[in-house]
């Protein structure tokens, strides 16, 4: 088990976690090769619902590894990190796929549920289907933010049996202590910028869900919700079997099960991540012998932009996928 092996230095013109987060998401270069092209498939879920899976169309050898990316809150295959990992996969000859959590592919799902940070059973059946459909390919998985917590929670729950499905996993900028992250995003600048951004898509989708399933929750109460704590209390927690937000954040967090992980696992968290307080990050004592911790001082939330081109602009976000992807490949 190691720590601080990701050597990252933020560009001088992007001081602080918020700048590094926002630039990476809005303005940084995402790929050096051609933009990824996708083939979409619809998978029926075990409970009669569906998810949409985007598979990159670049060439890969029949026995090359398959890299599966689980996106973050309200993310998709169009998110900057998903595109950057697609660029890494194409450059290294890897097959690459992005399964969308329910309701995140551009079409609302059918069931009276959505997705959540601790949905390890969803991770399990997705990975099992990838393994079944790609028996000649070693399977690698990376989860970003919410997707990383769910992936690490899966590995902790599965323990040794996870090694039968995947060769290695990684979590990037994941709030492994959901309560710490949830409270942090509901305060100050985070509340004004990030909470408003997430609520701007989550609330309309929840209202669509109410149209599908009248009586699922109280519309007026949801419209009055002003942060993720209130939203999770009214929507996420009760729809997915949790008593309330506190119960959800406690039971869904991956940090308490890190010591049970047996597959090679990497957790990368910048210590200036505005969503994930540094004091909440796992320590060597929290993580088991299979878990590697990278906790650089800078990077923001899924940021890690790097200077590139004349005068250090416009900057790119390939450094993080390169480091994480090469770590995953080194575990094969």
Of the residues 31, 100, 298, 301, only one is catalytic, namely: 301
Look at residues 166, 205, 184 and name the one whose alpha carbon lies nearest to residue 280: 184
CA distance 69 to 151: 10
Active site residue 54: no
Of the residues 145, 173, 174, 253, only one is catalytic, namely: 145
CA triple 206-209-211, angle to 5 deg: 115
Active site residue 273: yes
Q: Are residues 300 and 17 in contact, defined by beta-carbon separation less than 8 angstroms?
A: yes
Q: What share of the chain is helix, strand, coil (3-state, %, to 5)?
A: 40, 15, 45
CA distance 147 to 69: 8
CA distance 299 to 271: 8
CA distance 135 to 143: 22
Contacts 24+ apart (CB under 8 A), 245-250: 245/182, 246/179, 248/116, 248/117, 248/118, 248/178, 249/178, 249/179, 249/182, 250/178, 250/179
**H or E segment to which residue 294 belongs:** strand 291-294
Active site residue 173: no
- Give the burial class of 77: count Cβ atoms within 10 A of its Cβ; 0-12 exposed, 13-18 middle, 19 or more buried: buried
Of the residues 31, 87, 273, 280, only one is catalytic, namely: 273
- Say whether 83 sits in a helix, a strand or coil: helix
CA distance 313 to 153: 38
Q: Which residues are catalytic?
A: 145, 273, 301
């Amino acid at each position: 088990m190691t720590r601080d092996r990701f050597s990252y230095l933020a560009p001088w013109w992007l001081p602080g976690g918020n700048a590094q987060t926002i630039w990476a998401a809005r303005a940084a270069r995402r790929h050096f090769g051609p933009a990824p092209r996708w083939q979409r498939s619809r998978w029926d879920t075990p409970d009669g619902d569906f998810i949409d899976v985007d598979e990159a169309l670049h060439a890969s050898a029949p026995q090359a590894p398959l890299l599966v990316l689980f996106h973050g809150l309200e993310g998709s295959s169009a998110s900057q990190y998903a595109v950057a990992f697609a660029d890494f996969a194409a450059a290294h000859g890897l097959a690459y796929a992005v399964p969308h959590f329910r309701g995140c592919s551009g079409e609302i799902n059918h069931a009276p549920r959505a997705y959540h940070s601790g949905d390890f059973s969803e991770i399990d059946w997705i990975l099992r289907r990838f393994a079944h459909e790609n028996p000649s390919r070693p399977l690698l998985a990376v989860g970003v933010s919410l997707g990383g917590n769910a992936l690490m929670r899966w590995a902790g729950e599965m323990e040794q049996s996870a090694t039968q499905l995947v060769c290695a996993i990684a979590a990037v900028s994941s709030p492994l202590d959901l309560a710490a992250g949830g409270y942090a995003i509901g305060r100050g600048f985070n509340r004004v910028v990030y909470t408003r951004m997430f609520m701007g898509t989550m609330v309309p989708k929840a209202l669509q869900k109410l149209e599908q399933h009248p009586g699922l929750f109280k519309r007026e109460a949801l419209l009055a919700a002003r942060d993720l704590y209130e939203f999770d209390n009214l929507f996420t927690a009760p729809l997915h079997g949790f008593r309330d937000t506190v119960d959800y954040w406690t039971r869904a967090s991956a940090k308490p099960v890190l010591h049970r992980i047996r597959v090679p696992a990497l957790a990368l968290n910048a210590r200036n991540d505005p969503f994930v307080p540094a004091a909440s990050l796992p320590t060597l004592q929290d993580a088991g012998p299979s878990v590697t911790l990278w906790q650089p001082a800078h990077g923001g939330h899924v940021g890690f932009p790097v200077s590139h081109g004349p005068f250090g602009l416009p900057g790119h976000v390939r450094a993080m996928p390169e480091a994480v992807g090469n770590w995953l490949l080194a575990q094969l």
